[in-house]
Amino acid sequence: MMKKTIFTLVLTAISFSINAQTIFGKWENRDEETNKVDSVIEVYEKDGKAYAKIVEITNKKRQKAVCDKCSGKRKNNPILGMNILTGLSKDGNEWSGGKILDPKNGKEYKCYIKLDGKDKLKIRGYIGFAAFGRTAYWHRKN
């Protein structure tokens, strides 16, 4: 009985540590000036690629906001529920080859993402080369 309990505890601990080492799950995006959470983004896997969508907007007045600066099929669609990260493929310890949308300005950028510790996700959006871009960090939602 004791061995079975210890074995179960070890398996649980292993599954938690494996879970914590993944890009998948819910992440908080924080306002750069106030450091307050402005949205929650869910990173998920589909057909071996990484995607992310906005699943929560904390500002009640912005919850029905649409992407009026977006183009194409995203134009004037709700930001809540919108995919903002599309088609990233795993390459070593980072995911790259996809695009990220900034709903504030409607622009899409090439990007890569990678874990920066178990509870912090580095997102690098850029035009052309990764050296010319901007980095943001999302924090794992508890």
Distance CA 12, CA 83 (A): 32
Would residue 123 count as lying in a domain? Answer: yes
Place of tokens 């010319």: 132
Would residue 103 count as lying in a domain? Answer: yes
Domain span at residue 62?
25-140
Would residue 15 count as lying in a domain? Answer: no
Count of domains for the chain: 1
Distance CA 85, CA 53 (A): 7
The CATH number of residue 37's host domain is: 2.40.128.520
Would residue 9 count as lying in a domain? Answer: no
Would residue 14 count as lying in a domain? Answer: no
Give tens-digit pLDDT for 13-51: 444 444 458 999 999 999 889 999 999 999 999 999 999
Would residue 11 count as lying in a domain? Answer: no
Model pTM greater than 0.95? no
For the chain, the straight-line distance linking the first and the last C-alpha, in angstroms and rounded, comes to 32
Give tens-digit pLDDT for 67-88: 999 999 999 999 999 999 999 9
Strand ranges in the chain using DSSP code E only, listed in sequence order: 25-30, 37-46, 49-57, 83-91, 94-102, 107-115, 120-126, 133-140
